[in-house]
Structure 1
Amino acid sequence: MDKIFYGYLLVSDMDGTLLNDSGKLSDKNRKAIEYFINKGGNFTLATGRTIASAGRFLEEIEVTLPVILYNGTKIYDYKNEKVIYEEFIEEDRKDIITLIKNNYPTLGIEVYSEESIYIYSSCKYTDRFSKLGYDVIYDLPKEVWDKKWTKALIVGEENEIDFLEEKLDNIYGNIIRSGAKYLEIVPNNISKGKAIEKLVDIYNINFKKLITVGDNMNDIEMIKLADYGFCVESGAERTIKSTKFIAPSNENNAIEYIINWIENNLIRNKKENLNSFLERNMTYV
């Protein structure tokens, strides 16, 4: 079989990119990923999700490399059930959530620690877990403060999150806007982009053959990292404005489009250019 995608790595965000608005994987995207991998390509995910949450989809799609979780805080090898890389929120930054709870009581606050989810402050958006079948602890016991935290997530109305983002930016370290209603506190110097750099280094991937795709502000760094970084047309305005390549919306099989684009623009064009060069420079004896 012709391994036309050999050496290429496609890294995709999940929600709002790979998955449609109902959180489902389309058959066209699934078949395109299967085709890409069968033809030699590497495919993996970069998401804000947990091990369990992202892992549910790996029954539907194959990944050939470890998955980036928690917006870059953890890299996990599902095949070998092994953490490849992990960082934690600095101890002196944990108190941010108490400040937020006291000053913005309408916002929900979630703490992610040791693959458990703790609800420090409830709102209508923190109730989403009850519909998804996840084990969630609606409390933040004292002993959890002494554990290592992977991230904290602030949820609320878009205008509230806009205001809080502006207040926290450049004051409390690494704050990531992962959606209209989501603001995440993650370890300093952590992002999806930096995690991809680690993955590329570990697996000796050629940066010139890296393709990334996302939809939201937390994807901007990884999109800019790649020579061929895409934002779906349904993505956040800030992300679209900072992106050179635009793919169809997450409702219109963005991953299938990108894989076709790679084949038509990076593979076939390269072969055609090479053949044209050889024809122009061929000498006959």
Structure 2
Amino acid sequence: MVKLIAIDMDGTLLGDAHEVTKENAKAVKEAQQFGVEVVVATGRDEREARYPLKQAQITCPVISVNGAQFRDENETLLSTIPLLKENSKEIFDMLLTQDIYFELYTNRGTFSDNYEKAIQAVIDFFVSSGSDEDFKTLQAMAKERFEMGSISLVGSYDELLDQEDTIILKVLAFSKDEQKLNEVREKLHEIPNIAVSASAPDNIEITNIQAQKGIAVQAYAKQLGISMNEVMVIGDSFNDVSMFKVAGYKVAMGNAEQAIKDLADFVTKQNDEDGVALAIRRQLNDK
């Protein structure tokens, strides 16, 4: 019997309009009413994760930045797992040498040092995720991140690193050059104490090796006294693999990569077809 459900956001809980679909929101609340704990596990930072949840009137704990931070349903910060400073410097140098654009997720928010590249990176992410919106709509959505304060522009990343209170939680790199991205990914694996994953084919997500969704879900389940055999996870991408490795019941979205589907016990409908709602209700009906 499932007692805890961990749900990814982009490509999973969120539909193609990047909002929680009505049926998904209803199903999450139904699970909570049945006494099932629900936690969202996302690569987004806390602020960007909470916005669509609040719109859907969903209150739950959030594992953000791939597990680098955890906040309870009251948004109280309970844990932070940053990248080591020596690792951060090595990662920056590697990406800059390869001329790969990247953004920094920190304890003070998310930052970019190039507005145009930040806009293009989001557009590329939406396209690679299967969005069928036109270019102007995608561009407006990308610009909205800056307008809402989800990401801020900084003249140089050195400005952040020079401040002693800045903690780097995640480095998110983008490139349409698949060969270059794969080469960098291989080199990154040589750096100790980091986890390398992805939320889309054209990006790389880099966190502390302890900052992974699966580790965070395990810790939360232990805190609640719930066995991992009683945990269901739902996801669509490679930054969800760590959850799939530890959970008793794994659900892949219909829009997931085939490699993710191969790890799953059940493949539900796509994110824009209320796949999360179907998976949750399927479990509730088995209770």
Q: Could you tell me which residue of structure 2 aligns to residue 252 of structure 1?
A: 273
Work out whether residues 118 and 139 of structure 1, in 8 Å CA contact, stay in contact via their aligned partners in 2.
Answer: no
* Structure 1 counterpart of 2:205: 184
SS of the counterpart of 1:23? Answer: coil
Q: 1:202, CA displacement in angstroms? A: 1.6
Equivalent residue for 2:188?
168
Structure-1 residue corresponding to 2:284: 263
Match of 2:7 in 1: 12
Residue 67 of structure 1: CA displacement? 0.9
Higher relative contact order (CA 8 A, sep 6+): 2
For residue 113 of structure 1, the aligned residue among 71, 96, 106 is: 106
What do you get for the CA RMSD once the two structures are aligned?
Answer: 2.2
TM-score, scaled relative to structure 1:
0.82
**How many angstroms does 1:206 deviate by?**
3.2
2:66 aligns to what? Answer: 71
Q: Is there any run of 5+ residues in structure 2 with no aligned partner, and where?
A: 124-140
Moved more, 10-19 or 172-181: 172-181
Q: Which moved more, 1:121-130 or 1:196-205?
A: 121-130
Deviations 1:147-176 (A, max 9, x none): 211111101216143342233224453222
State the AA in 1 paired with 2:160.
Answer: V
Measure the CA separation in 2 of the matches of 1:205 and 1:84: 19
**Runs (4+) off by over 4 Å:** 126-129
What does residue 276 of structure 1 align with?
none
- Seen in structure 2, the aligned counterparts of structure 1 residues 24 and 175 have a Cα distance that, compared at 3 Å, is same
1:134 Cα deviation after fit = 3.6
The TM-score normalised by the length of structure 2 is: 0.82
Match of 1:130 among 143, 153, 160: 143
For these two proteins, the number of residue pairs brought into alignment is 258
Larger Rg belongs to: 1
**C-alpha separation in 1, matches of 2:215 and 2:275:** 24
Q: Does 1:153 align with 2:140?
A: no
| Residue of structure 2 equivalent to 1:83 | 77
Is the Cα–Cα contact under 8 Å of residues 65 and 105 in structure 2 kept in the other structure?
A: no
In structure 2, distance between residues paired with 1:13 and 1:158: 26
* Residue type of the alignment partner of 1:63: T
Residue of structure 1 aligned with 2:156, choices 140, 154, 167:
140
Decide whether aligned partners of structure 1 residues 61 and 181 sit closer, same or farther in structure 2, where only a CA change above 3 A counts: farther
Partner of 1:195: 216
Task: Mark the runs of 5 or more structure 1 residues left unpaired by the alignment.
Answer: 268-285
- The share of aligned pairs that are identical, in percent, is 21
**What is the aligned partner in structure 1 of residue 94 from structure 2?**
100
CA distance in 1, matches of 2:238, 2:176: 17
For 2:72 and 2:196, the matched residues in 1 are separated by 26
- 1:47 Cα shift? 0.2
Cα displacement (A) at 1:217? 0.5
The structure 1 residue matched to 2:52, chosen from 49, 54, 57, is: 57
User: Relative to 1, partners in 2 of residues 1:214 and 1:257: Cα closer, same or farther, differing over 3 Å?
Assistant: same
**Alpha-carbon distance in structure 2 between the residues aligned to 1:213 and 1:158:** 29
2:103 is aligned with what amino acid? E
Letter in 2 for 1:177: A
Contact 2:233 2:250 in 1 (8 A): yes
Counterpart of 2:184, as a letter, is L
Which stretch shows the higher mean deviation, 86-95 or 203-212? 203-212
Shift of 1:226: 1.3
- Quote how far apart the aligned CAs of 1:138 are: 3.3
- Secondary structure, aligned partner of 2:59: coil
| 1-structure distance, mates of 2:114, 2:90 | 13
